[in-house]
Amino acid sequence: MRLRLRTIILVFILLLVLSAVPIVLALIAPVHAQDDDPTGPQATLAVQPLTIIDDQGKPHQFKVEMAMTPQEQATGLMFRKVVPADSGMLFVFPTVQPEPFWMKNTLVPLDMVFINADGTIRAIAENTVPYSLAPVDSGGPVKAVLELQGGLTEKEQISVGDQVVAQSFGNAKPAPAAAGSN
């Protein structure tokens, strides 16, 4: 009888331990699939116009992809082989805070333009190093980061203090209404 009771208790304990394994695995596994490292470029995101007005009053116009979700922001321009001179990616954050970036899985040099909540450029990191995991500092709290083709800010004389005009900063003129729309 004792042997049978001991066997029943051991089987019960074994079943209890085995039933806990999926729970433990779920707790230590990543919470979301978005935490996985991307293996290729993300599809082109929604595009909006953005203009930078330099200190001479010259406008520099871009068509920027809008990285809005955490997954879009985590992937950014990773694995892109080319960033055209008139394009880029804008990362807008829900709060103003320091935003360090890196170049993990980024194949080409980028200029990172760190933007204050009022749309002025706080800092620029030029020609960031592809694949680097070193943090690129925003220089303080920012509302957004604009990634452009590496070397473009120097070539176009875009600098700290210049004004970024875009819907995200509430300083863009609304698009004209289409003819015949009411």
Which pTM does this prediction carry? 0.76
Q: How far apart are CA 128 and CA 136, in angstroms?
A: 8
Instruction: Per residue of the chain (182 residues), give pLDDT as tens.
Output: 666 767 777 666 766 666 655 554 444 433 333 446 788 888 999 999 999 999 999 999 999 999 999 999 999 999 999 999 999 999 999 999 999 999 999 999 999 999 999 999 999 999 999 999 999 999 999 999 999 999 999 999 999 999 999 999 989 876 555 555 45
Domain extent listing, the chain: 2-33, 47-169
70 membership: H or E segment, kind and range: helix 70-75
Q: What topology does CATH give the domain 47-169? A: Jelly Rolls (2.60.120)
CB of 77 within 8 A of CB of 106? Answer: yes
Any idea what the Cα angle at residue 150 is, between residues 171 and 156, rounded to 5°?
A: 55
The overall longest dimension of the chain from CA atoms, in Å, is 95
Residue-wise burial string across 61-96, b where 16 or more C-beta atoms lie within 10 A, e elsewhere: ebebbbbbeeebbbbbbbebeebeeebbbbbbeeee
